[in-house]
Chains A and B, each alone.
Chain A
Amino acid sequence: GAGVSQTPSNKVTEKGKYVELRCDPISGHTALYWYRQSLGQGPEFLIYFQGTGAADDSGLPNDRFFAVRPEGSVSTLKIQRTERGDSAVYLCASSLAGNNEQFFGPGTRLTVL
């Protein structure tokens, strides 16, 4: 079956602009996660959804970052007033429920000029 998909695969924007990154999880997976990976490092947790609600958003770096999952499937990560330091690969993962194997999408590479 289809895996986790993310769009766009690449996004280049200018400092100060607003961006949205989309994640389509595996069908039937109730848990969805966003991570951020800087060059040469392991991914870092941003936010975890169980169903429609954000169960843990402790990894969001500041209030410029926000994520939604209104119908418990597709999720959108929103970044306001982008900064150069936001440049990274944003990874989405899903699992059947919490504490299960997580399956990752290909990521969105965000470059802020």
Chain B
Amino acid sequence: KQEVTQIPAALSVPEGENLVLNCSFTDSAIYNLQWFRQDPGKGLTSLLLIQSSQREQTSGRLNASLDKSSGRSTLYIAASQPGDSATYLCAVEAAGNKLTFGGGTRVLVKP
């Protein structure tokens, strides 16, 4: 059974510092990995999707890497801003099309 773990569970940084969020998964037979952002009381916003054949994806200040063989992904957010404060979730899609989510990392960027 696929299990997804996100460390740390919570992170607090001063504005301008780079953020590094980690995600690990137990079964490397995945189709893709997605990173989401969730604001309090809201749904999920897709940030980046990495196909299993890719090593990384970039969008603006966000960069996500994928090492399928070791079961790890890292989301980097450069030059953090208070507006980046949210919960970040990673999820892997394996056979059966369903996503398996980690527990999330709650990020606070202090002005």
B103 is contacted by which of A42, A45, A93 (Cβ under 8 Å)? A42
Interface residue count on the A side (C-beta < 8 Å)? 28
B96 within 8 A of A: yes
Beyond A42-B89, A91-B44, is A102–B96 a contact (Cβ under 8 Å)?
Answer: no
- Rounded to whole Å, the gap between the CB of B3 and the closest CB of chain A is 11
A45 touches B43 (CB 8 A): no
Label chain B's interface by main secondary structure.
Answer: strand
A105 touches B43 (CB 8 A): yes
A51 within 8 A of B: no
- Rounded to whole Å, the gap between the CB of B63 and the closest CB of chain A is 18
In B60-100, which residues have CB < 8 Å from any A CB? 89, 91, 93, 96-100
In the complex, what residues of A have CB within 8 A of residue B32's CB? 99, 101
Beyond A91-B44, A102-B34, is A42–B97 a contact (Cβ under 8 Å)?
Answer: no
A69-113 CB mask vs B (1 if < 8 Å, else 0) is 000000000000000000000010100001101111111010000
A104 is contacted by which of B41, B46, B93, B102 (Cβ under 8 Å)? B46
Question: Which B residues lie at the A interface, using CB under 8 A?
Answer: 4, 31-32, 34, 36, 41-46, 49, 89, 91, 93, 96-104
Q: What are 5 sample pairs from A and B whose C-beta atoms fall under 8 A apart?
A: A35-B101, A50-B97, A99-B31, A99-B32, A103-B46
